[in-house]
Structure 1
Amino acid sequence: MTADLHTLEGKSFWDERFPMYITREREAFTLPLHIHDFIEIQYVAEGKGFHYIGDERVVAEKGDLYIIPIGTHHVYRPSSPLSKNELIVYNCLFDKNVPQQLGLSYPLPAEIYSLLNGESASYRRYKDTSSEGRQLLEGMHQEYFSKQAGYEAALYAQLTKLLVYLYRLETNQAFSMPAYSGISIILSYIDKHYNQTITLANAAQLISTSPSYVQKIFKQVTGQSFIEYIQNVRVKKSLELLQHPFYSIKEIANLVGYRDLKFFYTLFKKKTGHSPAQYRSRLTTPNIENQ
Structure 2
Amino acid sequence: MKIPKKIIRGDSLWEPDLPLFVNRGGESFLLSMHTHDFVEIAYITEGRGLHYIGTDLLHVEQGDLFVIAIGTPHVFRPYSIEQDNNPVVYNCVFDRNYIQRFRYSLPQWGELQRIFQNGDYEYRYYKNQQDEIGAMIEKMYMEYTMRLPGYQLVLNSYMLNVISTLYRYEILGVSPSTTRNRLDRVFKHIHASFHENLKVEDLAALVPISTSHLQRLFRQLSGQTVTEYVQSWRIKKGCELLSYTSESVQEIAGKVGYKDHAYFHALFKRKIGMSPVQYRKLQERSSTEFIPLNKADRLEARSNLPGMINKSSTFHK
Q: Which category describes the TM-score, using the shorter chain as reference length?
A: 0.5 to 0.7
CA separation of 1:2/1:124 partners in 2, compared to 1, >3 Å: closer, same or farther? Answer: farther
Could you say which residue in structure 2 is the equivalent of 1:107?
Answer: 107
Task: Give the 3-state SS of the residue equivalent to 2:102 in structure 1.
Answer: helix
User: When the two structures are aligned, how many residues end up with a matched partner?
Assistant: 178
Q: Is the 8 A contact 1:128 1:134 kept in 2?
A: no
CA–CA separation in structure 1 for the residues paired with 2:58 and 2:314: 36
User: What letter matches 1:61 in structure 2?
Assistant: E
User: Secondary structure of the equivalent of 2:166?
Assistant: helix
Structure 1 runs (4+) deviating above 3 angstroms are 104-109, 282-285
- Residues 4, 129 of structure 1: alpha-carbon distance in 2 compared, 3 angstrom cutoff: closer
The AA in structure 2 aligned to 1:55 is: T
Distance 2:3 2:10 in 1: 17
Residue 120 of structure 1: how far off its partner (Å): 2.7
Change (3 A) 1:157 1:173: farther
Instruction: Note closer, same or farther for the CA distance 1:45–1:130 as it changes in structure 2 (3 Å cut).
Output: closer
Map 1:126-205 → 2, pairs under 5 A:
126-172=126-172
**What do the CA deviations read for 1:232-258 (whole angstroms, capped 9, x no partner)?**
xxxxxxxxxxxxxxxxxxxxxxxxxxx
| Number of the residue aligned with 1:67 | 67
Correspondence for 2:120: 120
Percent identical: 37
Q: Whole-Å Cα distance in 1 between the matches of residues 149 and 2 of structure 2?
A: 40
Aligned mates of 2:163, 2:108 — CA distance in 1? 9
Match of 1:96 in 2: 96
Which residues of structure 2 form unaligned runs of 5+? Answer: 175-311
C-alpha displacement at 1:113, in angstroms? 1.4
CA positional deviation for 1:131: 2.0
Corresponding residue for residue 18 of structure 1: 18
Question: Shift of residue 152 of structure 1?
Answer: 0.6
TM-superposed deviation, 1:79: 1.2
Matches for 1:232-271 after TM superposition, within 5 Å:
none
Residue type of the partner of 1:26?
Answer: G
| AA in 1 matched with 2:159 | L
CA contact (8 A) 1:79 1:85 kept: no
Gaps of 5+ in 1: 175-281, 286-291
- SS for the counterpart of 1:107 is coil
Task: Give, in whole Å, the separation in 1 of the partners of 2:108 and 2:157.
Answer: 12
Letter in 2 for 1:74: H
Which residue type is aligned with residue 127 of structure 1?
K
Q: Which amino acid aligns with 1:35?
A: T
Residues 18-43 of structure 1: per-residue CA shift (max 9 Å, x gap) = 11000001101011101100111010
- Given the superposition, is the C-alpha separation of residues 105 and 149 from structure 1 closer, same or farther in structure 2, using an over 3 Å criterion? same
Does residue 1:9 correspond to 2:9, yes or no? yes
Query: Could you tell me how far apart the structure 2 residues matched to 1:74 and 1:2 are?
Result: 15
Alpha-carbon distance change, 29 to 3 in structure 1, aligned in 2, over 3 angstroms: closer
Contact 2:40 2:94 (C-alpha < 8 Å) held by counterparts: yes
Contact 1:54 1:73 in 2 (8 A): yes
1:186 is matched with: none
Moved more, 112-121 or 145-154: 112-121
| Alignment match, 1:58 | 58
Question: Taking CA–CA contacts closer than 8 Å with sequence separation of 6 or more, which of the two structures ends up with the larger relative contact order?
Answer: 2
8 Å contact kept, 1:49–1:79: yes
Q: Give the letter aligned to residue 169 of structure 1.
A: Y
Equivalent position amino acid for 2:72 in 1: T
8 Å contact kept, 1:108–1:164 = no
TM-score by length of 1: 0.57
Counterpart check, 1:28 vs 2:28: yes
